[in-house]
Amino acid sequence: MDTTHIQLAHGGGGQLTADLISQVILPAIGGPQHSHQLTDAATLEAPHGHLAFTTDSYVVQPLEFPGGDIGKLAVCGTINDLSVVGAHPLGMSLALVIQEGFEIELLRRLLTSAGAEAKAAGAHVVTGDTKVVDRSACDGLIINSSGVGLVHPAARLGFDRVNEGDAILLSGPLGEHGLAVMSKRKGLSFSADLVSDCASIGQLTAALLEEFGPAVHFMRDPTRGGLAATLAELSVGARRDLEIVESSIPANKTVRAAAEMLGLDVLAAANEGKLVAVLEAGAAAKAIAILSKFKIARRAAVIGAVGAASDDPLVELVTTAGGRRVVQMPYGEELPRIC
């Protein structure tokens, strides 16, 4: 493998991405030395309470897919990154890099979608930027969205807050976004039945923090790299084993079938409207009841528990057949340009 040039896999949200960030990017910019010290949004000291600040660039292809488009995705992604650090958005940005020749009507449609999603989520696009590049320099449209939020005063979230016995919750079925985009891209005939879960999860996180405050220990949206990447990062960050139970994980049959056909692991497929939350075991049942009231989380479930401290922590899946297998951090790019 060529180690002196960027590979597609460096952008896959898996181990190669983590290596690139910790070995190249962070040392170069003088940031923290380990990527697992990074969270989805930065928390900034502010006079009253804490601010959160996050950024993401979106390069999804195709630009429109069942259940969403790059505009909605950019807004949801940034709101969700703020949400999982316990913040609600004060303002967000949209920065566009547009290919020369891009259809204006399509741009309008994508931005309208972005605006509608922001409005529905109570967020406001307060700043932006527009660049146009020649045809050879970008295929279509790239959107960066950044966001600033105010952290809920009761939020006490972090790897160091995760304890043995804590419950691991998942808000719904896995892989809907990843499989919807892949099927659309490949023109598969069942693509109409596959719909991205692209959604803002701010209501879910706010409801949990409002009810349980510091009993919520960790939250994350399992996007690139899927649940596998989220749990692998959590186990390494918390230095604890994790156990999840396959039969407890909400399943979408169409997604499972498509994943099998394409040879993809649903655990590693991207989601854009799901929440993973870790909280005190005693709060789990009520948390599921609260989450289930929201349409996007009506199939929320406890999928596992946090185990003992370990210097070499593992994520284990108890399979429906009763066996056990280790859930690995995805190595590289399973589904390129999924977000």
The distance of closest approach from Cβ of residue 41 to its own copies in the complex, given in angstroms and rounded to an integer, is: 6
Q: How far is the CB of 248 from its own copies (least distance, A)?
A: 31
Q: Identify which of 327, 121, 142 has the alpha carbon closest to the alpha carbon of residue 232.
A: 327
Distances (CA, A) of 329 to 14, 224, 232, 332: 6, 11, 6, 9
137-196 residues near its own copies, rule: CB under 8 A: 137-139, 142, 144, 146, 148, 150
Q: Identify which of residues 99 and 292 has a Cβ nearer to its own copies in the complex.
A: 99
Q: Which residue's CB is nearer to its own copies, number 134 or number 312?
A: 134
Q: How far is the CB of 158 from its own copies (least distance, A)?
A: 16
* Residue whose C-alpha is closest to residue 159's, from 74, 36, 64: 36
Rule CB under 8 A: choose which of 64, 95, 251, 256 binds its own copies: 95
Please, which residue, 140 or 307, has the CB nearer to its own copies? 140
- Which residue of 134, 263, 322, 323 would you call a contact of its own copies, by CB under 8 A? 134
Tell me whether residue 184 or residue 240 sits nearer to its own copies (CB atom): 184
Site for its own copies in 11-40 (CB under 8 A): 11-12, 17, 20-21, 24-25, 28-31, 38
- 246: exposed, middle or buried (Cβ count in 10 Å: 0-12, 13-18, 19+): middle
Q: Count of CB atoms within 10 A of residue 312's CB?
A: 8
By CB under 8 A, which span of 92-100, 168-176, 207-215, 312-320 interacts with its own copies?
Answer: 92-100
Q: Show Cβ contacts of residue 179 under 8 Å, excluding neighbours closer than 6 positions.
A: 194, 254, 255, 258, 259, 262, 264, 266, 269
Question: At its nearest, how many Å lie between its own copies and the CB of residue 173?
Answer: 25
Which strand (E) or helix (H) includes residue 119?
A: helix 104-120
Neighbours of 217 (CB within 10 A): 22
Looking at the Cβ atoms of 142 and 258, the one nearer to its own copies is 142
289-328 residues in contact with its own copies (CB under 8 A) are none
Which residues partner with 68 through β-bridges? 65
